[in-house]
Structure 1
């Protein structure tokens, strides 16, 4: 067993995050009520961007934990508790989803009583298709049932993996590692399918006539990248009493940098594949989604995302020396988290304003509200626990890890 103490909480961090979170949520609600119909639409779209940003990171971390158990990876054992903590925050998002539910009629044209502006541009044939052909899937009761399934699966899997891991800290049973490694492969299909269909429900159905079977992969590719960025930043700053950062070696950071590079490229590959197939097919229901972003007021942002989300970080992360310098790698991680938020804005905000990028102050309050609340909840869940799986049978091997 390694010599570390239980995490007792970083002074003021949890109250600060929680306070900012509550303040942000309250201000977003105020923005929805005092701004009339336009303010309600803006606040609803702002909240959706913040929600899919933060929940995507949490679910991606859960997938990472399950994947590493499935692959029997040993090098990341020292980092696993941080990933488990990110994943165990899933239940708070089930509560935060209430904010999305309250704004359904301001977000989705398929919701009964939807804002009239959401139906602008639909002709009679399209409205007929929306009302009858897609109603079997896009209806509020079934939408609600699907959300229960998503959060139920995520909560169950995250709880099982986290509880086995923390219990092993107390009893040191090898059987708990075996359980996690047997459970994880079976959970992966359910995790992958639920995050895919969640992306369809939350974002793709903003434009219900548009279809892309790869859209869910695009979403969790970006979320995976963001999760590795958060893990890098947290690890760099986890220095001090009761924290695990001092145990992490440059070799671990090198691997995190390689994973950031890999998912930067994977995100670009999926994004280009989706664009190429839809643009070549030129189907009337699908091409307008890209037409809006390429030839309208969103064109400059579309070009910027290609350079800023792919070419620039890809070139930077090719450097081996940078990946061996934690502080510099953390700076790149912060940048990628910002550009990931811009990417989600590019996906969602055109449903609110087709003419081009615009700003509404609830974009900031919603982001801080959802993010602060989820961070506070994650810190609450880790209090009293070790920040490293101290009795994992492979922790010593992880601490001695060197590049092969």
Structure 2
């Protein structure tokens, strides 16, 4: 059977070399992105809500970031484990991960909002406020003295200057590392030098350590510090699990799309799809649920007000339904769906499952970024009283700006990745483990 798999693998240039088919797809993605962002700009102008615009921008920017971080993690794991099965699909992951060379541009707007001191453009809700409340300690201390007292002890870490320095380091590492892995992999396509595989494997180890540190601190900086008095030692690993859900799903969809366009015929088989489905199930579903439950259980059990208040904001009004939807949509339903090997092997069901996971990965980021802790939470003596007072709290999911921004950012991401694939081989064609990948079978 292994020999038959090798024989049907089409390694002709039309099957493995990027060409105008991908270039056209890239251009179409960019056109859709531009149209969507123009529409988003019009909606934002009509809404005249600078803070809301900045939060939606930040949320969608983080979502697109997670897709590439998940792909970057996938690339490094395959190298460090010397995995042969993934050679057939690794170039798709490398192309997606390489979006980290430009994603920093999307974060210029939230950073710009951080530096704005004009109170009109920073105002919302309870008077002056900004995306990250710790950036204006005078306002925070005036309007929320208890929270301000806690955050004042964190100013050595939470201050605009150090915040920007850290962001520059994160983006510099991600950009340089992903560019190097893609460039080295493509050089192997040209030279066939097997030692380049060894170099990438050795580089993957320190890069994984730096990846863990940078992704954790980025999650703390850009998401957790939106509620600066709150903290969770498990937040970074929760964010990592979310990057796996989105990143592995986009890799699966990328491979499926390439094959539907006539690429990689017989190269990627049901065996490979089953394994990428396993990774979605293990990292993006089971591990995500384990970390989510552990974080919630520890905070619930400890019952400390400065910790529970973060979850209170996600249990009042319509946010309670979003929390329930995440439980079932990000864990229960996909857990049962992906546990079957056939759902992972059939292309149609895998595509559906991957799209489902992408949708809930986006909702998960929205759930992390958007809820606002009630300013008067300390005045309530019972949870029932708080829930009753905020029973009509809206999630804002009906705002069309969310989806226009999402389509725009994802369109840019797809356009960039497919454009990159169009410029060379869509297969790591001279990797010494390619034959192992072509003959790969699940037991």
Bin for the TM-score computed over the shorter chain: over 0.9
CA contact (8 A) 1:92 1:377 kept: no
Aligned twin of 1:75:
85
Aligned to 1:7: 18
Give the superposition deviation at 1:324: 1.7
Matched residue of 1:285: which SS? helix
Are 1:78 and 1:398, in contact at CA under 8 Å, matched by a contact in 2? yes
2:415 and 2:137 map into 1 onto residues whose CA distance is 36
Deviation at 1:87, TM superposition (A): 0.5
2-side partners of 1:209 and 1:138: how far apart?
11
Mapped pair 1:145 → 2:165: yes
Quote the offset at 1:248 in angstroms.
Answer: 0.7
- The answer to whether the 8 Å contact 1:86/1:378 transfers is yes
Cross-structure match for 1:372: 411
Structure 2 matches for 1:268-287, cutoff 5 A?
A: 268-287=289-308
Partner of 2:346: 325
1:177 matched to 2:186: no
* CA deviation after TM superposition for structure 1 residue 205, in Å: 0.8
1:347 to 368, 379, 390: 368
Give 1:351 shift. 2.8
CA distance in 1, matches of 2:154, 2:42: 34
1:180-200 per-position Cα deviation (integer Å, ceiling 9, x unaligned): 011111111101110111111
2:427 is equivalent to residue 388 of structure 1 = yes
Spell out, residue by residue over 1:343-371, the C-alpha distance to the aligned partner (whole angstroms, 9 max, x if none).
11111121399823123221012112211
After superposition, the Cα gap between the structure-2 partners of 1:121 and 1:253, relative to the gap in structure 1 and judged at 3 Å, is: farther
Deviation, structure 1 residue 108: 1.3
Q: Give the corresponding residue for 2:254.
A: 234
**Alpha carbons 1:278, 1:286 under 8 Å: kept:** yes
Superposed CA offset, 1:96-120 (max 9, x none): 1112213335311112399x7xx59
Distance 1:241 1:123 in 2: 56
Q: What corresponds to 1:401 in structure 2? A: 440
- Report the equivalent of 1:215: 235
Runs (5+) with no aligned partner, structure 2: 1-9, 115-121, 123-129, 375-389
Q: What TM-score, normalized to structure 1?
A: 0.93
> Does 2:72 correspond to 1:62?
yes
Stretch of structure 1 that moved more, 192-201 or 298-307: 298-307
Task: Tell me, yes or no, if the aligned pair for 1:28 and 1:365 is still in contact at 8 Å.
Answer: yes
Q: SS where residue 211 of structure 1 aligns?
A: coil
Distance 2:362 2:251 in 1: 17
- Kept in 1: contact 2:141–2:147 (CA 8 A): no
1:250, 1:325 within 8 Å by CA — same for their partners in 2? yes
Question: Which protein has the larger Cα radius of gyration, Structure 1 or Structure 2?
Answer: 2
- C-alpha separation between the residues in 2 aligned to 1:88 and 1:111? 31
Partner of 1:87: 97
CA 1:68 to 1:183, structure 2 compared with 1: closer, same or farther past 3 Å? Answer: same
Rounded Cα–Cα distance in structure 2 between residues aligned with 1:360 and 1:108 = 22
Taking a change above 3 Å as real, the CA distance of residues 145 and 30 of structure 1, as seen in their structure-2 partners, is farther
Shifted more, 10-19 versus 315-324: the winner is 10-19
> How far apart, in 2, do the equivalents of 1:48 and 1:162 lie?
27
Unaligned runs of 5+ in 1: none
Structure 1 position 128, deviation (Å) = 3.0
State the alpha-carbon separation in 2 of the partners of residues 222 and 81 from structure 1: 22
Q: CA RMSD in A?
A: 2.2
Q: Is the 8 A contact 1:218 1:271 kept in 2?
A: yes
Distance 2:331 2:142 in 1: 33
Give the 3-state SS of the residue equivalent to 1:7 in structure 2: coil
Task: Give 1:357's aligned residue.
Answer: 395
Aligned to 2:183: 163
The one-character-per-residue Cα deviations of 1:180-231 (angstroms, maximum 9, x if unpaired) are 0111111111011101111111111111111011111111201101111111
